[in-house]
């Protein structure tokens, strides 16, 4: 047989994953509102594009360092895991770098962890109020999910609804890959996440900057099912006491 590293299908998947990773990084930085964190005390002054690019370069370099140090978290033979690791690394690097820059000079207004998280989460498509309230993801799937439930009759037919949700969960697990795991809970097909690469990465990194980002990534998970009839999400302590996402379909 052909060696795995020369298999055309595998080569194509790796190339696609590399392109997706580049797009993910570019999108993150295009959505990262650096000016909202690094506000100048002099209201007549303006943060220059050069200063913004310098901060973004700093974030990018630190994210690469974090990725290199945490590759042990990546499961073998999982093409999707590196993109998830990169997203977590970019978020943590941005949180740390923006806080560090804001505190490093008298020219900037003071900001706290939650105010910076508001900006970082926004680059991920999550609303994390600067007052520290619970984050929630932009529900881009709400309308498609609701329409699918109505068209298929899942709103009124319990067995049809269960079948549709089971398919959704299966597709979601495939999309996440091997770095994430769930276990069933009642009522079926509800589940609890038992392994989450985002959570593992942020817990290993440690510090207040990492801790405030964990609910942001949990909110991303729950956004997948918004619009599904009688769906609720929450966080509950896992086996080791770590808060983990729980998805209930009543």
What's the CA dihedral at 128, 129, 133, 136 to 10 degrees? -40
Q: What is the mean pLDDT of residues 241-250?
A: 93
Residue 14, classified by CB atoms within 10 Å of its CB into exposed (0-12), middle (13-18) or buried (19+), is middle
Residue 79, classified by CB atoms within 10 Å of its CB into exposed (0-12), middle (13-18) or buried (19+), is middle
Percent of the chain exceeding pLDDT 70 equals: 93
Examine the pLDDT at 247 and tell me if it is beyond 80. Answer: yes
Examine the pLDDT at 151 and tell me if it is beyond 90. Answer: no
Q: What is the mean pLDDT of residues 183-203?
A: 96
Chain segment 79-137, per-residue pLDDT in tens: 899 999 999 999 999 999 999 999 987 889 999 999 999 999 999 999 999 999 999 99
Examine the pLDDT at 153 and tell me if it is beyond 60. Answer: yes
Strand order across the beta sheet in which 191-196 lies: 180-184, 191-196, 243-249, 231-237
Q: What is the mean pLDDT of residues 144-171?
A: 86
Asked whether 152 and 160 are in contact (CB, 8 A), the reply is yes
pTM of the model: 0.88
Q: b/e per residue, 168-178, with b = 16+ CB within 10 A?
A: bbeebeeebbb
């Amino acid at each position: 047989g052909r060696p795995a590293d020369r298999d055309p299908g595998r080569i194509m998947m790796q190339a696609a994953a590399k392109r997706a990773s580049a797009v993910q990084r570019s999108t993150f930085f295009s959505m990262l509102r650096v000016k909202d964190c690094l506000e100048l005390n002099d209201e007549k002054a303006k943060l220059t594009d050069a200063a913004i690019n310098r901060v973004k370069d700093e974030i990018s370099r630190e994210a690469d360092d974090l990725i290199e140090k945490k590759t042990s978290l990546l499961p073998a033979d999982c093409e999707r895991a590196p993109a998830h690791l990169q997203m977590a690394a970019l978020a943590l690097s941005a949180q740390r770098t923006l806080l560090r820059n804001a505190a490093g000079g008298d020219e900037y207004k003071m900001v706290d962890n939650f105010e910076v998280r508001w900006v970082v989460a926004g680059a991920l498509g999550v609303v994390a109020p600067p007052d520290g309230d619970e984050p929630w993801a932009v529900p881009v799937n709400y309308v498609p999910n609701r329409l699918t439930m109505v068209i298929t009759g899942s709103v009124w037919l319990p067995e049809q609804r269960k079948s549709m949700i089971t398919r959704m969960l299966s597709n979601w697990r495939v999309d996440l890959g091997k770095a994430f795991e769930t276990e069933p809970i009642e009522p079926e097909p509800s589940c609890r996440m038992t392994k989450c690469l985002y959570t593992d990465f942020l817990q290993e990194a440690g510090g207040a900057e990492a801790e405030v980002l964990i609910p942001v990534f949990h909110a991303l998970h729950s956004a997948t099912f918004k619009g599904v009839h009688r769906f609720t999400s929450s966080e509950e302590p896992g086996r080791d006491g770590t808060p983990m996402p729980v998805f209930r379909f009543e």
